[in-house]
Amino acid sequence: MQSENVNMVELKKTVCPLDCPDSCGMVAKVENGVITSLNGDPDHPYTNGFLCRKMRSYHQRVYSEDRILHPQVRVGKKGQGQFARISWDEALTLLADKLSHVRDTYGGEAILPYQYAGNMGHLNCNAGHALYHKLGTSRIIETICSAAAGAGWSMHLDKVPGSPPEVAEDSKLIVAWGINVKVTNVHFWQYISKARANGSKLLVIDPYRNETAQSADEYLQVLPGGDGALALGAIKSLLERDLLDQQMIDEQTTDFEQLAAYLQATPWQEFCEQSGLPQQEIERIATLLQDNPATFIRIGIGLSRNSRGGMSVRAITALAAALGLLSGQPGQGLLYSSKAFSGDSARVRFPELLEKPTRFINMAHLGHALTTLKDPIRLFMVYSCNPLSVAPDGSMVRQGLLREDLFTVVHEQVMTPTARYADLLLPATTFLENRDLYTGYGHFQLGVVNPVVPALGEAKSNFQLFQELAQKLRFTDEAFLQSEEDRLASYIATIEGLPADFSYQREKFSGWITSTRRRLGESVKECWNYSYRFAAAGEPGIPSIPCVLKAAEFADKDLCSRFPFALITPPHMDLLNSTFGERYPGKNGEVLIHPEDAAEYDIKEGDCVRLSNFRGKAERVAVVTDATQRGLLVAPGIFWQTDSSGTGINDLTSQKVTDIGEGPTFHESRVQIEIM
C-alpha cells in the first residue's frame, strides 16, 4: 500500500474478483474513506495498468442505490421483489431454523446450495461448502462454465498447465479459436498487438465475425460445433501430404498411429460437412499452421458450449501436438487455462464433514431439480450466482422458484432476477469490502488482498455469513471456528506453484506472486515429463481418439423443421455473464441475423423480434449483418429479464449436456424468429 496523504487519500491494491481469465490487479483510490476511482495496477505484469471499462466504474456499483444492504424477508408474491427489513439476528435464526427443519423432516438432500463464481476469491467462493457438508445437503456439480473444455483438455494433457500468454508475443501466427479476445480476455490483446507489430498474423476461428475477428488478419467462419472436424481435417491434410515431423511426434507423444489410421480411413466429406468448410480451405489453414512453427493457439471456452464441445477441445489439442506446438520453442503455445496454481480444495471445502455421500445435481439441470426431481428440493440457497438469468432452460427455473413449498435464500449485492424470488434475502459485500486470495486462469499471477473499505450497511461476506450461520446451528468443528486468516494460511500452505521461499505473512504481503509452473523454453515433455497422448481411456462410450462427431440439437431434423435457426449466446462487452445487468434496466439486448435471412423474414435493422422454441421465448432487437452466417442467430449478453417480457435469453437454451464433462450447451439451440 502506498499513501499520499495518510488521512485523506490512500491508494490500495486489490484484485478483480470476476470470472474472467484476466484476474486484474487493481489500484483503488480512497478519499476520506470513500473509493473515488479504480485503475489497473501498473505493477501487475499482466494487467499493466489497464482495466476493462466494466470495472473502471465498479465503485459506483458499490455505492449505488441498487445495493442490498440489509437482511429482508419476502412480503409480496414470489418474484415481485417486495421485502421487509429484518435484523441479522432474526435472519440467521430464521435460516438456521429452516435448515434444521428441512434436514430433520425431509433429509439434508432436500437442501440445494447453488453458487458459482460471482466472486472468484478462494475464501469466499468456497465459503459455504463446510456447512453444506456438515448438513449433508445435495451437492452441485459445477459444470456451468468450463466443464466440457476442462474434460477435453485433461483427457489428452492431464494436469499440464497452459502456455504463459506472454509467449504469444514472439509468435508469428496467433489463433483465437472460439474466444472473443477483445471482449472476454482483453489483456491477451497486448501480446497480439506486440506480435503483430513484428509481422505476426492473427487468425480468428468463430461462427460469426466477432469484435476480435473484425480486427484480425484472417477470419475463418466455421459452423458452430464444427471445430473438431476442422482441426482433424487439418491433421489429415498434413498427413496426406507427409508434412508432419514424425521424429518429434515419436519423441513427444504417444498413440499417433491410432489417430492417423482413423483420419486416413475417414472420407474428406465428413470433415467438410461438419466444419462447413471445403477441403481446399481446410488444407490452406493446415498449410498456414505448418508454415508457421511459432504458432500460439488460444482456445476459448465458447467452442465447448455445444454437444461436441469436449471433442472440439480434444481435436485442437491433437492438432497442436501434431504440429509440435508443445515443444517450447519461442512463440509456440497452447492455452486454454493456465492452471498456474493448485491448492488442496479440502482445506477450503472440508469434504470430511460429510457423514455419508449425498446426491449430486448438475448445475445445468437446475430447471429439472427445482420442478420434477424425485425427493424434491425444499430449501434452495444461492450465493455468488444469478441462476434465474444464467442457468439454461430458464422457464423451468422460474417455475421452480414460484413453488410455494420451496424456501429460497439469496445472498446478493443487488436485486437480481433471482433475488426477486427470494423468501429470505441477505446482503453481500463486494470484493472491495473483502479479504481474499485470487489466482487467474488466463495468466500466472496470484494475489492476496485486504478490504479496501469496510463493509457497507449490514453486508456480510460469504465467509462471514457461513461462519455465523454455523455458530447459530451450534456447530463446533474446527472449520467453523477458523478465522479468515486461519483458512487462508491453511490453504496457501498446500498451493503448488508458489516459489520455494514464499512465506505468507498477513501484514507484509502485497503485490504479485508469479507461479513456478510457467513453462518457458522447454517442451511439455521436458518440463512435466509428460507425453501428449493421442489415445486416452475415457468413460464408456467416449471415443479414445479425437474423431468427427455429429451435432445433437443443431442436427435434429424434427427440431430443424420447426425451428429453422441455430442460436448461439456469447458474452457481451459490457456485462460479465449477468453481472452489471442492473445498469441496463429494460434492455433485452440484440440478435444478429444475416441479411438474406432478414430479407426472407422481412426483418429490418432495429426491429423488435421474438425468438422462440418449445422451451420458451426471448425478445431482442434485430441487427442485420453479414458478420453472422446464414441460418445462424447470435444473441450476445445475458441481460436481465425485463419486467415487460419477463424472460431472458436462457429461456431458449437447453438442459442437454456436452459430449464429455456434462457441461451446458448454451451455444446449441434451435429457434424461430418473428417480428413483434
Ligand X SMILES: Nc1nc2c(c(=O)[nH]1)N[C@H]1C(S)=C(S)[C@@H](COP(=O)(O)OP(=O)(O)OC[C@H]3O[C@@H](n4cnc5c(=O)[nH]c(N)nc54)[C@H](O)[C@@H]3O)O[C@H]1N2
| Site residues (vs ligand SF4, CB under 6 A) | 16, 18, 20, 22-24, 51-52, 54-55, 186, 576
Residue recorded with cell 489410421: 261
> Shortest distance, CB of residue 120 to ligand SF4, whole angstroms?
9
383 vs 421, which CB is nearer to ligand X? Answer: 383
Is residue 651 at the binding interface for ligand X, with CB under 6 A as the rule? no
> Cα–Cα distance between 441 and 433 in angstroms, integer?
23
253 vs 306, which CB is nearer to ligand X? Answer: 306
23 vs 654, which CB is nearer to ligand SF4? Answer: 23
In eight-state DSSP terms, residue 493 is: T
List CB contacts of 244: < 8 A, sequence separation 6 or more: 235, 238, 322, 323
Rg, C-alpha atoms of the chain: 25
Is residue 579 at the binding interface for ligand X, with CB under 6 A as the rule? yes
Nearest to 593 by CA among 604, 577, 578: 604
> Cα–Cα distance between 375 and 368 in angstroms, integer?
12
Q: Which does 413 bind (CB under 5 to 8 A by kind): ligand X, ligand SF4, Mo ion, none?
A: ligand X
> Cα–Cα distance between 333 and 23 in angstroms, integer?
20
Is residue 125 at the binding interface for Mo ion, with CB under 5 A as the rule? no
382 vs 498, which CB is nearer to Mo ion? Answer: 382
> Shortest distance, CB of residue 55 to ligand SF4, whole angstroms?
4
209 vs 305, which CB is nearer to Mo ion? Answer: 305
All cell numbers assigned to 616: 420458451
Is residue 306 at the binding interface for ligand X, with CB under 6 A as the rule? yes
List CB contacts of 609: < 8 A, sequence separation 6 or more: 591, 603, 619, 620, 621, 622, 673, 674, 675, 676
User: From the list 23, 237, 413, 665, which residue makes contact with ligand X (rule: CB under 6 A)?
Assistant: 413
- Concatenating the DSSP letter of every residue in 528-547 gives H---EESS---STTS-SS--
Q: Which does 51 bind (CB under 5 to 8 A by kind): Mo ion, ligand X, ligand SF4, none?
A: ligand SF4
| Beta-carbon count within 10 A of 440 CB | 28
HSE-up (13 A, CA, CB side) for residue 515: 28
State the residue number with the nearest CB to Mo ion.
145
Query: Of 196-235, which residues contact ligand X (CB under 6 A)?
Result: 205-208, 210, 222, 224-225, 227
302 vs 310, which CB is nearer to ligand SF4? Answer: 302
Q: What SS3 class is residue 606?
A: coil
Alpha helices in 402-511 (DSSP H): 462-472, 478-481, 484-492
Residue recorded with cell 440489509: 70
List CB contacts of 501: < 8 A, sequence separation 6 or more: none
Nearest to 167 by CA among 41, 295, 47, 51: 295
In eight-state DSSP terms, residue 134 is: H
Helix (H) or strand (E) holding 659: none
Residues of 207-224 as b/e, b for ≥16 C-beta within 10 angstroms? Answer: bbbbbbbebbeebbbbbb
Query: Of 134-163, which residues contact Mo ion (CB under 5 A)?
Result: 145
User: From the list 649, 657, 660, 673, which residue makes contact with ligand X (rule: CB under 6 A)?
Assistant: 649
Q: Which does 55 bind (CB under 5 to 8 A by kind): ligand X, ligand SF4, Mo ion, none?
A: ligand SF4
Q: Which does 591 bind (CB under 5 to 8 A by kind): Mo ion, ligand SF4, ligand X, none?
A: none
List CB contacts of 58: < 8 A, sequence separation 6 or more: 38, 430, 432
Q: Which stretch binds ligand X (CB under 6 A): 286-294, 499-507, 529-537, 573-581?
A: 573-581
User: From the list 439, 577, 588, 612, which residue makes contact with ligand X (rule: CB under 6 A)?
Assistant: 577
79 vs 302, which CB is nearer to Mo ion? Answer: 302
Query: Of 21-40, which residues contact ligand X (CB under 6 A)?
Result: none
Beta strands 632-634 and 565-568, pairing class: parallel
> Shortest distance, CB of residue 567 to ligand X, whole angstroms?
9
231 vs 260, which CB is nearer to ligand X? Answer: 231
Q: Draw the binding track, 495-524, toward Mo ion (x: CB under 5 A; -: no contact).
A: ------------------------------
249 vs 272, which CB is nearer to ligand X? Answer: 272
SS3 content of the chain, % helix, strand, coil (to 5): 35, 20, 45
Q: Which does 160 bind (CB under 5 to 8 A by kind): ligand SF4, Mo ion, ligand X, none?
A: none
Query: Of 273-292, which residues contact ligand X (CB under 6 A)?
Result: none
290 vs 434, which CB is nearer to ligand X? Answer: 434
Give the angle 142-212-515 at the CA atoms, nearest 5°: 50
> Shortest distance, CB of residue 145 to Mo ion, whole angstroms?
3
Q: What SS3 class is residue 224?
A: coil
48 vs 642, which CB is nearer to ligand SF4? Answer: 48
- Count interface residues toward Mo ion (CB under 5 A): 1
Is residue 180 at the binding interface for ligand X, with CB under 6 A as the rule? yes
Is residue 124 at the binding interface for ligand X, with CB under 6 A as the rule? yes
> Cα–Cα distance between 558 and 645 in angstroms, integer?
28
Q: Which stretch binds ligand X (CB under 6 A): 172-180, 351-359, 536-544, 584-592?
A: 172-180
Q: Which does 462 bind (CB under 5 to 8 A by kind): ligand X, ligand SF4, Mo ion, none?
A: ligand X
What residues form DSSP beta bridges with 620?
Answer: 609
- Count interface residues toward ligand X (CB under 6 A): 59
Is residue 175 at the binding interface for ligand X, with CB under 6 A as the rule? no
All cell numbers assigned to 427: 446482503
Q: Are 392 and 651 in contact (CB under 8 A)?
A: no
Q: Are 649 and 635 in contact (CB under 8 A)?
A: yes
> Which residues sit at the interface with Mo ion, rule CB under 5 A?
145
> Which residues sit at the interface with ligand X, rule CB under 6 A?
19-20, 116-119, 124, 144-145, 177-180, 183-184, 205-208, 210, 222, 224-225, 227, 300-303, 305-306, 383-386, 390, 411-414, 416, 428, 462, 568-573, 575-579, 638, 649-650, 653, 666-667
